[in-house]
Amino acid sequence: MSDFLLPRLQALEPYVPGEQPQGRSFIKLNTNESPFPPSPRVLEALSREKIAQLNLYPDPLAYELRKAIAAEYGLAPEQVFVGNGSDEVLGFAFLAYGDNAHPVTIPEISYGFYKVFAQLFGIAPTVIPLNADFTLPVEKFLATGTSVVLANPNAPTALALPLQDIERIVQTNAGHVVLIDEAYIDFGGESALPLLEKYPNLLIVRTYSKSRSLAGGRLGYALGNQPLIEDLERVKSSFHPYSINSLTMAAGIQAMKDKGYFAACLEDIIRQRQEMAKALKALDFKMTDSATNFLFASPPGMSGQDYYQRLKERGILVRYLSHPKLESYVRITIGTKAQMEQLIAETKEILKEVQP
Ligand SMILES: *Cc1c(COP(=O)(O)O)cnc(C)c1O
């Protein structure tokens, strides 16, 4: 770091992504990516012809992509905003709705980026601890007098909030934006989508990274009523008008249209999740009831970090989050059947080592 960097940014604690090892080949269960490649229609769309057009700027309005997303959810393209990953969409939303006079309420244990964005944009967040069982204390999110940002289902806890609770939060914070990050909604839980008609302050954020096998393409979107979407467009056009490249745009259109492939991937992951939960419970793991593509699990007789380290030595990467309240847990992404079988086999060996 140089002495030139602004003091505010010197004090910033950047988001730490999960490891992306470039050398040794690990079984990668640490960043909630899909174990499956993108839809075959995506591979076809990224043709030599498309690549040959890279001399031209992409459509700054990303209209065809927004149309494809809107069609999927029965909305108008004007109700869809697209960004370079949902991280960028979240960033624009924090920039649009928060500053030192406009705070935001977030859960203590949730997606780590919310705190980073708050710091980056000079927003003092109101941080609400979760209940001891990792459920959300809904009452504390009612009538906050601030914007609210929640992930539903939540990460890393994997728990979903009933739609009724989401509605109470949106309704009682009517004077402020309530952002629901639905990164994992395709794997379980109830979407806030049906509430859009009724609530002009609701903004739903989603991603292609988890359920649509496009983490490397960087594509996320927001669904909301037109004025909120116009706000985000305004911020984006003042910062990075071409934030989605033309290849990703083409990929995003086809990934959204291929409903059959999408459904088959989800079905597989949800089946693996059920089998994995059963297998780990049989080994005395504790875990929450997952509505996502990962398990939030606590191994018997060792810390989360110890289990993480022992799996890593055996070529399997899971995510350990260093936070005092998460010490006995790891987050394990659901992979293919073969990957899950390998995880269970290695875990049995590890348990023999720690409980001789
Ligand atoms: C993975 C994740 C994101 C970020 O997704 P990208 O679209 O890849 O930027 C956002 N929110 C939550 C809760 C996530 O888990």
Give per-residue pLDDT as tens, 283-292.
999 999 999 9
- Quick: pLDDT tens for 61-104: 999 999 999 999 999 999 999 999 999 999 999 999 999 999 99
pLDDT value of residue 122: 93
pLDDT interval class at 19 (50, 70, 90): confident
SS3 call for 36 = coil
pLDDT value of residue 167: 98
> Which of 115, 154, 207 gets mutated to test ligand 1 (max ligand atoms within 8 A of its CB)?
207
Q: Which two tokens stand for residue 54?
A: 């890279």
Which atom from ligand 1 is nearest to the alpha carbon of 154? 13
> 77: cis peptide before it, omega within 30°?
no
Mean pLDDT on 192-198 = 98
pLDDT interval class at 20 (50, 70, 90): confident
10 Å Cβ neighbour count for 215? 17
Which atom from ligand 1 is nearest to the alpha carbon of 220? 7
Residue 290, phi-psi category: left (phi > 0), alpha (psi -120 to 50), beta (remainder): beta
pLDDT value of residue 64: 98
Mean pLDDT on 163-170 = 98
Which atom from ligand 1 is nearest to the alpha carbon of 32? 1
Ligand 1 lined by 294 (C-beta under 6 Å): no
Instruction: Answer for the pair 149, 253: CB distance below 8 angstroms, yes or no.
Output: no
Report residue 86: phi and psi, to 5°: -70, -20
Enumerate residues 6+ apart whose C-beta is below 8 A from 4.
none
pLDDT higher than threshold 80 for residue 24: no
Strand ranges (E), the chain: 27-28, 80-83, 104-107, 125-128, 147-151, 178-181, 202-207, 220-224, 286-287, 294-298, 316-317, 330-333
Residue nearest (by alpha carbon) to ligand 1 atom 2: 183
pLDDT higher than threshold 80 for residue 34: yes
Instruction: Answer for the pair 327, 308: CB distance below 8 angstroms, yes or no.
Output: no
The C-alpha atoms of residue 187 and residue 290 are separated, in whole angstroms, by 9
> Which of 81, 152, 210, 219 gets mutated to test ligand 1 (max ligand atoms within 8 A of its CB)?
210
Output DSSP code: residue 355. Answer: -
pLDDT interval class at 256 (50, 70, 90): very high
d(CA 348, ligand 1 centre) in Å: 31
Ligand 1 lined by 248 (C-beta under 6 Å): no
pTM of model > 0.85: yes
pLDDT value of residue 18: 82
Residue nearest (by alpha carbon) to ligand 1 atom 11: 183
Which atom from ligand 1 is nearest to the alpha carbon of 111? 13
pLDDT value of residue 231: 98
Q: Which two tokens stand for residue 221?
A: 């979107």
pLDDT value of residue 17: 83
pLDDT value of residue 264: 98
Instruction: Answer for the pair 200, 232: CB distance below 8 angstroms, yes or no.
Output: no
pLDDT value of residue 103: 96
Instruction: Answer for the pair 250, 28: CB distance below 8 angstroms, yes or no.
Output: no
Ligand 1 lined by 304 (C-beta under 6 Å): no
d(CA 87, ligand 1 centre) in Å: 6
pLDDT value of residue 22: 79
Which atom from ligand 1 is nearest to the alpha carbon of 87? 9
Mean pLDDT on 181-194 = 98
pLDDT higher than threshold 90 for residue 331: yes
pLDDT higher than threshold 80 for residue 222: yes
The C-alpha atoms of residue 243 and residue 69 are separated, in whole angstroms, by 17
Ligand 1 lined by 91 (C-beta under 6 Å): no
pLDDT interval class at 246 (50, 70, 90): very high
Tell which residue, 136, 216, 149, 214, has the closest CA to residue 182: 149
d(CA 355, ligand 1 centre) in Å: 36
Q: What percent of the chain has pLDDT over 90?
A: 95
Mean pLDDT on 22-51 = 94
Average pLDDT in the chain: 96
Tell which residue, 184, 236, 230, has the closest CA to residue 203: 230
> Which of 20, 31, 69, 111 gets mutated to test ligand 1 (max ligand atoms within 8 A of its CB)?
111
Mean pLDDT on 3-32 = 89
